[in-house]
Amino acid sequence: MNWDAVFTSLKLASMTSVILLVLGLPLASWLAFSRWRWKFLFESVVALPLVLPPTVLGFYVLTAMGPRSPLGYWYAELVGSPLPFTFEGLVVASVLYSLPFAVQPMAGSFAGVDRNLVEVSWTLGVSRLATFFRLILPAARNGVVAAVVLTFAHTMGEFGVVLMVGGNIQGVTRTVSIDIYDQVQELNYAAASRTSLALLVFSFAILTLVYWLNRNSSLWPSAGRR
């Protein structure tokens, strides 16, 4: 087992989960409670990474991060080194790629909180922020935990985007899934099956945890109770 790659994947998945928890909470609560008529546009954008092939996303990210794009040029000027082929670059790509896996379960569980309770809290003079942290978040905690765990697991298994923007550098951007791909390519099937089996067991354990947490509710918005 290539422990460097395992460590890189764990680090990437942890950082992506934390960032998406911070970004996801406000975004998901807005999606759950807003009555803005154009909201569906944002819902579509958030869901895009679910349907776009990782090659498309990876290609856009690579082009956007490269020094030929204004964004990439600006970043390189500001930080002193360009984003492609760095761990930070992978984090940016993973945050985009795993966005729906964080936001959708959160938004679904927020929307599942009894609207009457929320409105009673508001009319009693509790601020929107306090209502969110003291009423909505505790009531929806399983959905939030599910979101974080799913983001973590999905990032662990991320392949196409990492392949497109990572550059396969040992200890920096070579993740477990890339390592498996290399093992298959160099016909080292024994090593590939070992690593694949470890990833399979890990993924199963994570999903079991998620579904156990949510055994009384539904993970996805619009499915199940409203």
Partner 1 sequence: MIKDVASAFEKRTGHRVKVSLGASGGIYSQIINGAPFDLFLSADTSYPRRLEQQGFARPGSLTIYAVGRLALWTRAGSGVDVARLDMKLLTSANVRKVAIANPRHAPYGQAAVEVLRHFGVEQAVKPKLVLGESASQVLQFVSTGAAQVGFLPLSLVLAPSAPKDGRYWLIPEGAHAKLEQAAVILKGGKAPPSAARQFLDFLTGSEGKKVLERYGYSLPRDREGSRP
Binding site for partner 1 (CB under 8 A): 59, 62-63, 65-68, 72, 81-82, 84-85, 163-165, 167-169, 181-182, 184-187
Min dist CB 157 to partner 1, Å, is 17
**In the complex with partner 1, which residue's Cβ is closer, 43 or 182?**
182
Token reading at 118: 């929320």
- Residue type at 187 in one-letter notation: L
Residues sharing a CB contact under 8 Å with residue 76, sequence separation 6 or more, in sequence order: 67, 82, 83
**In the complex with partner 1, which residue's Cβ is closer, 168 or 203?**
168
**In the complex with partner 1, which residue's Cβ is closer, 114 or 186?**
186
> What is the spatial distance between Cα 88 and Cα 68, in angstroms, rounded to a whole number?
19
Min dist CB 168 to partner 1, Å, is 4
Token reading at 122: 């508001």
**In the complex with partner 1, which residue's Cβ is closer, 82 or 157?**
82
Min dist CB 87 to partner 1, Å, is 13
For 83, list phi and psi in degrees, rounded to 5. -80, -35
Min dist CB 167 to partner 1, Å, is 3
Please state, in angstroms and as integers, the Cα–Cα distance from residue 73 to each residue in 36, 58, 164, 174, following that order.
35, 18, 19, 25
**DSSP annotation of 180:** H
Alpha-carbon torsion 46, 82, 160, 177, what sign?
A: negative
For 60, list phi and psi in degrees, rounded to 5. -60, -45
Min dist CB 163 to partner 1, Å, is 6
**In the complex with partner 1, which residue's Cβ is closer, 66 or 157?**
66
Min dist CB 203 to partner 1, Å, is 23
> What is the spatial distance between Cα 84 and Cα 165, in angstroms, rounded to a whole number?
6
**In the complex with partner 1, which residue's Cβ is closer, 116 or 185?**
185
Q: For residue 95, count other CB atoms closer than 10 A to its CB.
A: 20
Residues sharing a CB contact under 8 Å with residue 21, sequence separation 6 or more, in sequence order: 102, 144, 147, 148, 151
**In the complex with partner 1, which residue's Cβ is closer, 63 or 193?**
63
Min dist CB 93 to partner 1, Å, is 12
